[in-house]
Every structure is written in structure tokens, then in C-alpha cells.
A and B are shown apart, each in its own frame.
Chain A
């Protein structure tokens, strides 16, 4: 139960901190409202073990990012940080509910959270660099797009061969 309580508390604190961060621009209260809705859903999900509330909480945070992106000025906190926090929120909240129902060992759980957070951050930072760094020429974007197509094609081929073996 200690693991469930700790992870539940951690996810709620992260959810509240994400809701608190808002840029000082017009329309920010709408994003703030969405963020607080996400935090409230997260609290319900963790407290009552409602897994769907955790899903809707993550959706609320995605809507908040969408609203923030439509406002004037840069998205604050940066997108990669928001992605990382939302991944951590989902991981911690899910772990909290699972630990109560099925029980989880702390070691593998921490490893899983670290891997997921790292992967999300790397992908997000890489994509940001790709998008904002290639606005001038578009060369980097083309290289990235070709690499993505090659990767996706390779993965699809591998999946197809595994399925037909």
C-alpha cells in the first residue's frame, strides 16, 4: 500500500503543478480551467481507483496544450516538459491503482516509469528540434521525414513477417 500511496500522491502533485503553470496572456484562464479539470479528474481517478478518470485527465492536459498553442506567445512550460509530466502522471496514477488491486514490486515499476519518461522526453525534444530547427530551409525536416518513412516501413515489414511466420 505504501507504493500505491506514494505514487498516487506523486501523480496528484504533478497534476496540480502542471495546472498551476500558465503564461500571462489573453485566453490563459481557459487553459487554466482545462488544467484544473485535468487535476480534478486525476484526483478522482487516484482516490477512487477510477481508471477512466485518469484517461480523461490526460485528455484534459492535451486540450490545455492545444489551447495554449493557439494563444499568442510561446507555450509555457515547454511542450517537451508538458509531455514528460503527463507521461509521468499517467504512469504514476496507473501504478497507484494497479498496486492497490494487484500489487506491484517497486523495482520494476520505477524502471518502467524511468524508461517511459525518458523515451517521451527524447522523442519530444527531438521532434521540437526537428520542427523549429528546419523552419528556415526545410532540409532537416525532409531528412527526418525520410528517416521516419524508412523506420515505419521497416517496422511494418517486420510486423508483417512475424504475423505470417
Chain B
């Protein structure tokens, strides 16, 4: 607890001193008569300012919230008798906005003035702006002494940490991996095994399950035939988020878009019980191999939300991709294609047989228009180089779909899905 003087105490003490010295200087009692009430107020105020006991606890707070969603944080305030008013500063981190309070008055967007009556509970409504890591606290409480000459301040170190998940349009168009893994799921595998999807007929072999016999075909052909089926299996999806942009160049919006799209994809793939993996390429290459479960999903989201602009070395990217992006996973790369090295690595992965798709976070719409002829020519050359790169990747069997400003995320996904349904790997 810290105790410090307020404006009142300083004003009364200073006025009292000036009045006393003034009375001595001019030799009249009036300045002293003026000064004494001030001094009395200061002294009485100090005597009455006994240190109170206050406790503020955060009872309930969300650990994750969707951007723009309104959630409640519950605080419990305990104070000894005689304290009627208290101010609590919740110290919300940038990106957390306090939009309402039940049981108090919101002040200045960060503080709550509370009228105390024993153990008091207040509910604070918060809204997260943007995505990323957020926090609330450490909470500070302020109590004014009865005459307001002293203020007591407490700092409670308890801090609530939470993640704000980007909210975007629902993704309806999903890319399905060509190969499935060995876990049970909703996808029809190319393999044969126990399942419900009919694959083909074959002659009966010793050891086959009699339940698989196709009696109609067997009776017509005069020999035993069995149905073969495709098993239902799960798919692995690995998202690669390329945040290799230069900070301060206005291209941070590309990272923002990539993270938002990745968040939507993770949500939708998670809802369909795919095993999810993530490789984030910014200043540090971090990777998570495909996995499932709530804990894994939370780790993936937390890693995604810590993405920032930055450059990584080619070797680090290669190591991260080699560990996380393995067959039979479908690897979806979200990249602005500003760095050729990722395109080179995509080529290597495709050659090694990994199923790959690329969504190009198109930077053209976010760049300033060229101001002179030379810059315009440079811009044209750069666009041609990007087109050539896209063609090269498409030739390798990597569909590249640009995601332009204003387009819903379904558009590039539908382009890739269409491309994948028609394109065949050259033999």
C-alpha cells in the first residue's frame, strides 16, 4: 500500500504557510486568520486518514475471446468498514476495451468507481479489438481519506492473460487432403478396409469376412465374390503462415490477413476434426506437427497469434517445414510471395510428393501507387516476375490462388479446389 498527498493537502499546507508568513510580514492578524482554517483542515485530514484494508480479486475471467465478442470479468472487492467509495483501475492492455460495468461507474475507459457495501462484486464487460495476446491487470485500487487530503493506493499483482482470436467470415470451401492418415475420421480413404463406401468387387479369398460376400453377384457368377470398401479416415492439414515482411513498410496488413485466414481455416478444419499442424515463418520459425485434441488446438492458436513481421533464414524455414509438413498432410501455404526462398522450398516439397497448395496474400492492393514512369515500369516488371513465379509453381503441381483485397476467403479456396479437381500430375 502506498500513501500519498493529494492536491488538497498541498494547497492547504501551502496556503497556510503563506498566510502565516504574510501575517508576520504585514503585522496584521487577517492573513493568519485566513491561514489557520487551512492548516486545521490539513491536520484534521491527516489525523482522520487511517490506512484502510482493501482486497481486490479477479474471480472469473475468460482465457480466450473472439475479436469483437463481449465477455464479462468478475471482480470481488473487500474493504474494512468506513470505506464507502473506491476506485479500481483494471489496467487493460492495448486491444482490450472496457465497454460496461455492473455495480459501478466506468471512468476514463480503464477505471471503475465503486460504492462499497461489505463484500462487493462487480462485473466488467470487455471487448477485444484485433487479434493477439491480451491482458488485464495488475489491478490497482485507490481509496481517498475522509477529508480527501491523502489517497491510498494498492497494487494487486494478479494479471489475467487471454488470447483474442480473429473473427472472420465462415469458410465454406475446404480443401481436402489427397491422402488420409490412419486415424478414424470423415474422409473416404483411397485404401481398402472396413468402411461404408463401396470400392469394388473381388473374388473371395480364404480368411475373408463372410459378411462381405456379395450374394447377388456370387449367385449370378457361380463363384464367391466379396465387396471391397474404402475406410473412413482422418486428414492432416498443415498451415504455413509466411510473415516475412519488412516492419514499417506498410505491409503488416499482409501478415494480419494471413493470420486471419489461418485462424478461420484452423477453426473450420478443427470443427471437422482434422489433425492440425502449423508452421509460422517470421523472425523465428516455429512449427507444430499435426495433432488433435483441445490442448493441441489451443497451442496452435496461441502460436498463430504470436506471429509478427520478420525475416527468417532459408535453412530455418527448411528445417521447420521438414519436421511439420510430412506426408500424408495437405500443406496450405499462406504467403504474400515476397520472398522467393519459400517458393523454392515449396517446389522441393512438391517434388518429394507432399500435397501442397498456396494462397497468395496479394500485396498489390495495399501498396502505394507508383509516382513516376520509372516506378511504374518497375512495378510492371515486378508483377511479371510474380506471374512467372506463379506459373512455375503451377507447373510443378502447386496451385497458387491470389487472395485480393475485399474478396471473401472462399474465393481463393474455391480457385484451388477447382484447380485440384482437374489437374493431374504429369507422368
Chain A residues with a Cβ under 8 A of chain B: 51-52, 54-55, 58-59, 61-63, 65-66, 68-70, 75, 79-80, 82-83, 86-87, 90-91, 93-94, 97-105, 107-108, 112, 115-116, 119-121, 123-124, 127-128, 131, 155, 159
Chain B residues with a Cβ under 8 A of chain A: 6-8, 10-12, 14-15, 18-19, 22-23, 25-26, 28-31, 33-38, 40-41, 44, 47, 84-85, 87, 89, 105-108, 111-113, 115, 142, 144, 146-148
A100 touches B108 (CB 8 A): yes
List the B side residues contacting A59 at CB < 8 Å.
Answer: 11, 14-15, 18
Q: Which one of B30, B84, B112 has the highest number of Cβ atoms from chain A below 10 Å of its Cβ?
A: B30
Q: How far is the CB of B21 from chain A (nearest CB, A)?
A: 9
List the B side residues contacting A112 at CB < 8 Å.
Answer: 146-148
B7 touches A94 (CB 8 A): yes
What are 14 A-to-B residue pairs whose CB atoms are below 8 Å?
A58-B12, A62-B15, A62-B35, A66-B19, A79-B33, A83-B34, A94-B8, A103-B105, A103-B108, A103-B111, A120-B41, A121-B37, A128-B33, A155-B47
Name the residue of chain A whose CB is nearest to the CB of B27. A70
The 7 closest A-B pairs by CB, nearest first: A103-B107, A66-B22, A103-B113, A69-B30, A120-B37, A69-B28, A62-B18
A61 touches B15 (CB 8 A): yes
Name the residue of chain B whose CB is nearest to the CB of A63. B18
A115 touches B14 (CB 8 A): no
A83 touches B37 (CB 8 A): yes
Name the residue of chain A whose CB is nearest to the CB of B44. A119
A62 touches B34 (CB 8 A): yes
Q: How far is the CB of A53 from chain B (nearest CB, A)?
A: 10
Tell me the complex Cα distance, A69–B36, Å: 15
Tell me the complex Cα distance, A108–B108, Å: 20
A104 touches B22 (CB 8 A): no
Evaluate whether A55 and B11 lie within 8 angstroms (CB atoms) in the complex, with A102-B111, A104-B113 already known: yes
A90 touches B11 (CB 8 A): yes
List the A side residues contacting B14 at CB < 8 Å.
Answer: 55, 58-59
Determine which of B8, B18, B37 lies in contact with A124 in the assembled complex, contact meaning CB atoms within 8 Å: B37
A94 touches B148 (CB 8 A): yes
Name the residue of chain B whose CB is nearest to the CB of A100. B108
Q: How far is the CB of B273 from chain A (nearest CB, A)?
A: 48
List the B side residues contacting A131 at CB < 8 Å.
Answer: 29, 33
Evaluate whether A119 and B18 lie within 8 angstroms (CB atoms) in the complex, with A103-B111, A103-B113 already known: no
Q: How far is the CB of A44 from chain B (nearest CB, A)?
A: 13
List the A side residues contacting B25 at CB < 8 Å.
Answer: 66
Tell me the complex Cα distance, A54–B23, Å: 22
A86 touches B28 (CB 8 A): no
